[in-house]
Structure 1
Amino acid sequence: MEERDRLVSEEVEDFPVDNPKYTTYLLRPAVNLSQSNRPKVVGQMSDIIEEFRQKHPDGTFEDWVTYYKTEYDGDDRLEEATDIAYPMVEKMRQAFEQIDEEMTHDFLRDLVLFKTYEGFDIQEAVLRKLGELYDEDATRATAADESKGIDGYIGEQPVQIKPTTYPDDLQEGIDVPIVTYDENKSNKAMRVDASEVTDEIGVEPVYGGDSR
């Protein structure tokens, strides 16, 4: 707690200060879209921090910075990540300048009306298919469940149902298996990946083989 309090109060030399308002909301999708924070660029951070904690159980923030920089070429990795991310920042800046009130209205109309209805319809179809595959009753989530990130149930198993394009960072922190779908609008075919459900309940789909 003392270490966290020290970081929050910015008593650590060179600890990043808060960015100007709203900038992080723009930088986060730019970083995600550019994939500049992927393990192949910055390293598998969950493994690296765990390794650091094991080797330096009493290590401070400064120790962590030094460890990442010396053991994993941290400075070079951060430079590479920046070089990958910044062109996307520029693209997003140019795109944002093209957005006017009419485009904002059209986007909201599409999001509130079409996407809501389309998403509800697709989730219903995916749930029905999963019910058949696992020979279980498939039910939609209640409003209370949806507020927790649950879209439906396969038997007693809660699941999320998301398109493959759904941002990874929005799925974090929800301990529910994710069923992803990839819709081919040209031939109205849909590929569904329910492997996380299979892993969670330990039951293979009734029709065997691939659950996609």
Structure 2
Amino acid sequence: MGFSFGHRDSEREKRDVEAEKLARGIAISKAKPGSSSIPIVPISSTAAPSAKVKIQAIRDSSHPANGQYGLFAAQCLPAGSFILAYLGRVHAGASSSSESDYDLWLDKEADVAVDAAREGNEGRFVNDYRGIGHRANAVFGPAYCERWGELCVGLWVVGGKKVGKGIKKGEEILVSYGKGFWKERMGDVADEYQDADANVNADADANG
């Protein structure tokens, strides 16, 4: 008696497609203009490629991502300003891959996420601040993007009085990947970063 793996795979793919459609539908319905306090990003701010950033090779032996790439400011970015949308495949959170370093929650309550591992834009090149800067100068947050008419993950310059200095032209854009990301990769060492993340998130409230 044989096993029909091909059939199983096709059924799984079908379920994934349906889950993705449902997730995208939720993202659209939950972000209608005027229905929430989610900031609205005009079409002009999501042009591709973005004139605000540039992807640059990192050639610094002291940099954790030496030999790889980073995202840098192509112009001065004011504190609290929108940088770009973090694009990728919208999917149900239940189908998230534990191996992906590019998966972010779009709406955790609704179980909707976006993964830029295989498809995305410049946002997928943003590095974590650890080992590079004292703290993150950018944060991820929800945004209603008029270009696509749906909820998106936006990348914003950190605001707030403490660290809201903006990002200078040529400076690397850095975020916090979060305690969960490092917990999976570094175990208890991730606990050391919890306080730093809390400070950045508190200062970033001004973006909302």
TM-score (norm 1): 0.25
Structure in which a larger fraction of residues adopt strand: 2
Q: Which structure is richer in relative contact order (CA contacts within 8 A, separation 6 or more)?
A: 2
**Bigger Rg, which one:** 1
